[in-house]
A and B are shown apart, each in its own frame.
Chain A
Amino acid sequence: MKLKQIESLLGRIQQFSNPKLDLEQYPTGPHIASRMLYTAENTFGDVNGKVVADFGCGCGTLGIASAFLGADYVIGIDVDLKSLETASQNAENLEVDVDLIQCDVKNLSSRGQVIDTVVMNPPFGTRKKGSDMEFLSVAFKVASQAVYSLHKTSTREHIKRVALRDFSANSAEVLCELRFDVPQLYKFHKKKEVDIAVDLWRFVP
């Protein structure tokens, strides 16, 4: 599928109707999501024919994008049932299969080496400190091929250090720096949009 086509299909995804503050619920927009998975497939071959897990899948954007890029099996995991039900509806509307699991990512226990690639836009840990690292730690445990993740640029050195030292990553590479518009979903956001610098990472476990 062409990049433009994926981006436009992702634009049809219904997003959080009542985002929950403490879970850092905001979507990855179609522009970033389509490029993230397009790069994962076209530069690294990490999606087509693979089992892909979307951690903190929300309404399913990254998992659905993986299915468009030829993933043979997609699993979306989130704590929030409401989002999972929306994700299920989105997958059905866009005619892709995504298996959904309601689970706290940090308590996920999976056996075997079934999952090839993990894709995620984890909570940055602004509400609950360290949740980005918890996601990353579990991703390293289950992925056998690659982990794609978005993290605040301000944490770049820390992430690199932890990935290589504590998670014994074979490689930890920033693919690009993005501007991420976190829309004004919450009352405490004064500006209409909070624009933050975010890195797209690729890790090899």
Chain B
Amino acid sequence: MRLLTHNMLSCNIKGVKNGYPLRLEAEKWTEKEVDFNAKFLRGIFPKIDWPALVGSARSFGFNDLLPDEAPDSSLLASDDDLLRRFHHALLEIHVEEGGLVCPETGRRFPINKGIPNLLLHEDEV
């Protein structure tokens, strides 16, 4: 699971109102190079929840990879270094083992072999 996926997932338990963002517990992860595509990154930037992305990057100890405050989109057009960091955070980190924890209920969805398990128990649907 990569961080773009994390950025769009929220807790799907019935009745949960504040199920976003899921807190990422990363126990094992890998980094893998992906072709850099500035056009794609600029297109997706406005759709990303910035605090959630920064928070998920922190769970790997990447505390300085991204600025706390969402940058202005014009900065993304001129600052190549920033765009590359965004690229790295969003697309090049793969969580292999760990979990996703609902901020409201504390329910933990495990991640094994890179695949998060968001199946619900009978009493959660």
Residues of A within 8 A of B (CB): 49, 51, 72-73, 75, 79, 81, 84-85, 88, 97, 99-104, 107-115
Q: Which of B8, B9, B12, B20 has the most CB of A within 10 A?
A: B8
Q: Are A102 and B117 in contact (CB under 8 A)?
A: yes
Q: Is the CB of B116 within 8 A of A101?
A: yes
A-B contact pairs, 26 of them (CB 8 A): A49-B43, A51-B4, A72-B40, A73-B40, A73-B91, A81-B115, A85-B115, A97-B2, A97-B32, A97-B34, A100-B1, A101-B116, A101-B118, A102-B117, A102-B119, A103-B118, A107-B120, A107-B125, A108-B118, A109-B11, A110-B9, A111-B10, A112-B7, A112-B8, A114-B7, A114-B8
Contact B8 A115 (CB under 8 A): yes
Interface residues of B (CB under 8 A from A): 1-2, 4-5, 7-12, 19-20, 32, 34, 37, 39-40, 43-44, 47-49, 91, 113-120, 125
Q: Are A85 and B118 in contact (CB under 8 A)?
A: no
Whole-angstrom CA separation of A97 from B31 in the bound complex: 12
Instruction: Tell me the complex Cα distance, A81–B115, Å.
Output: 9
Within the assembled complex, what's the spacing in Å between the Cα atoms of A97 and B47?
21
Known interface pairs A88-B115, A102-B117; 16 further A-B residue pairs with C-beta atoms within 8 A, sorted by A's residue number: A49-B43, A72-B37, A72-B40, A73-B4, A79-B119, A101-B1, A101-B5, A102-B119, A103-B119, A107-B125, A108-B118, A109-B10, A111-B8, A111-B9, A114-B44, A115-B8
Chain B's closest residue to A77 (CB) is B118
Query: A75 — which chain B residues lie within 8 A by C-beta?
Result: 5
Kindly provide the distance from the CB of A174 to the nearest chain B CB, expressed in whole angstroms: 30
Known: A49-B37, A100-B114, A100-B115. A112 touches B49 (CB 8 A): yes
The reply to whether A102 and B118 contact each other, CB–CB distance below 8 Å, is yes
Contact residues of B: prevailing secondary structure: loop
Determine if A112 and B48 form an interchain contact, defined as CB atoms under 8 angstroms apart.
yes
Contact B91 A114 (CB under 8 A): no
- Tally of A-B Cβ pairs under 8 angstroms: 79
Alpha-carbon distance between A102 and B35 when the two chains are bound, in angstroms: 26
Closest 8 CB pairs of A and B: A109-B12, A103-B118, A72-B40, A102-B117, A114-B8, A99-B5, A110-B8, A112-B47
In the complex, the answer to whether B47 meets A113 with C-beta atoms within 8 Å is yes
How many angstroms from the CA of A79 to the CA of B43 in the assembled complex?
A: 30
Residues of B within 8 A of A102 (CB): 115-119
Q: What's the Cα separation between A160 and B118 when bound, in Å? A: 31
Q: Within the complex, what minimum Cβ distance (angstroms) separates A47 from chain B? A: 13
Contacts of A114 in B (CB 8 A): 4, 7-8, 44, 47-48
**Residue in A73, A101, A104, A110 whose beta carbon sits within 8 Å of that of B10 in the complex:** A110
Residues in chain B near residue A109, CB distance under 8 A = 9-12, 19
Give A108 Cβ to nearest chain B Cβ, in Å.
Answer: 7
Q: Which residues of A contact B8 (CB under 8 A)?
A: 110-112, 114-115
B44 touches A81 (CB 8 A): no
CA distance A51 to B8 in the complex (A): 12
Chain A neighbourhood of B5, CB < 8 A: 75, 99, 101
Partner of A84, one of B2, B10, B49, B115: B115
